[in-house]
Amino acid sequence: MAFADLPPPPALEVPAFDLAQVDAAPGKIDLRTIKPRCPEGKPGEIVVCATDPEKERARPLTGPDAEGQGLPRAEFDLGNGVSMDVHFDAATLPNGYTANRVMVGFKIKF
């Protein structure tokens, strides 16, 4: 008998499986990816739960972006007591606009 002449194998019936229907009784594994902040209420009990106050909180910077830690001053020694630096500056124009600018300065020691 050739392989093409064999009858097809019987279809396997796989029961439907839904994680939402898994029993969450005490002592069983919680398979939810996002854990609830508030406990579930018991029958006849009302649970009041606020949103997470830490969710949108701005925290202090850490690492190289923290205050006081930044790029070093852009100053170059050109020799013979002359140095050059690059810095940012802002000035108010007569029409009320603010002019943000990059300045180049030279210092001569005497």
How much is the pLDDT for 49? Answer: 82
Residue that has been written with the tokens 């002359």 in this structure: 82
Range of the domain at 87: 72-110
46 occurs within a structural domain: no
For residue 41, being part of any structural domain is answered with: no
Helices (H) and strands (E) in the chain, counts: 0, 3
For the chain, the average pLDDT equals 78
Task: Tell me if 78 is assigned to some domain.
Answer: yes
33 in a domain, yes or no?
Answer: no
Has residue 43 been placed in a domain?
Answer: no
The answer, yes or no, to whether residue 1 has pLDDT greater than 70, is no
Per-residue pLDDT, 50: 78
In a domain, 90, yes or no: yes
Contacts 24+ apart (CB under 8 A), 76-85: 81/108, 81/109, 81/110, 82/106, 82/107, 82/108, 82/109, 83/107
Q: Is the pLDDT of residue 83 over 90?
A: yes
Our count of domains for the chain comes to 1
Asked whether residue 108 carries a pLDDT value surpassing 80, the answer given is: yes
Q: For residue 105, tell me if it sits in a domain.
A: yes
Residue 23 lies in a domain: no
